[in-house]
Amino acid sequence: MARHRKPHAVPAVTLRARRQLGACLAGASALTATLLSLTVTPAAPPAPDRAPAGHTLPDPQAAP
């Protein structure tokens, strides 16, 4: 049968460093996602019921 050993204690400094690294990576990931969403234009064409970006639809004319 296997022996049960006392779990290895991780120093508090190591735990804090791991938490800081995780927070830093999460923040960098969020910043990267934000910047990419602002700079990258989608490759798909606009939906058929919408005007292309930068163009306005002509004003509707009244019926005679």
Confidence of residue 64 (pLDDT cuts 50, 70, 90): low
pTM of the model: 0.53
18-55 pLDDT, tens per residue?
A: 999 999 999 999 999 999 988 887 777 767 777 666 66
For residue 33, give both structure tokens: 């996602």
How many CA atoms within 13 Å lie on the side-chain side of 22?
A: 6
Closest CA to 29 of 37, 40, 41: 37
Which helix (H) or strand (E) segment holds residue 57: the answer is none
Give 18 or 61, the one with higher predicted confidence. Answer: 18
Which helix (H) or strand (E) segment holds residue 42: the answer is none
